[in-house]
Structure 1
Amino acid sequence: MGDLNVSKLKSAESELTYFTGIKIDKHSFHNILNRKNKEKYFFQLVQDIKRLGKRTIVDGVNNGNDFNFLLNKNVDGLQGEVWTARKSILP
C-alpha cells in the first residue's frame, strides 16, 4: 500500500465540504498497523484530517489490540467486529 496522503486532499478541499468525516477503511488501517512507525504515522494522519476540519472514523477494529492502539489517538468513531455480541471486549 502506498502512503495515505492527506495533503492531496487539501488541493480538493472544496470537494470535501459535503462530508463531515473521513473514514479510514479496514484495509488501510491494518496496513498502518503493520508499519514500523505506525504510532507517528497514524498521529500525523489524524492531525492532517483534523486540519481539514473533518472527523476521523476507523474501520476494521476487530480485536482488543486494534482497540488499544486507537486509545488516545483523537479519532471520532470506530467500526469493526469488536462490537459484535460474540466477540465483544467492551463492557
Structure 2
Amino acid sequence: MTMSLILACLWALAANLLAAMPSRDNHWRRAYALIAIGVPLLGYVTYQNGPWVGLFVLMAGMSVLRWPVIYFGRWLRRRARSDA
C-alpha cells in the first residue's frame, strides 16, 4: 500500500472518530479542517495511484462529509436558477 493510501485511511479513521465525539462547539469547524486536509490528500492519492483510485477515495470522502456536499449542491442549484 502506498503512503498516500495509508494517509487516506488515517484521514477516514480520524473523520469517523471526530464524527463520533460529542461536541458543544460548531461541528462545521471540524468539517472545514477535514476538507482542508482531504483535498490535497486526494490530489496526492490520485497522483500516486491513478484516477480510478482517486475517484474511489473522493466518493469515500463525500460519504463521510455528506452534508457539506449537499449544501454545496443546493448552493449551485440556487446560483443556476438566479443566473437563468
TM range (shorter): 0.3 to 0.5
**Structure with the higher helix share, 1 or 2:** 2
Greater share of strand: 1
User: Which of 1 and 2 has higher RCO (CA within 8 Å, sep 6+)?
Assistant: 2
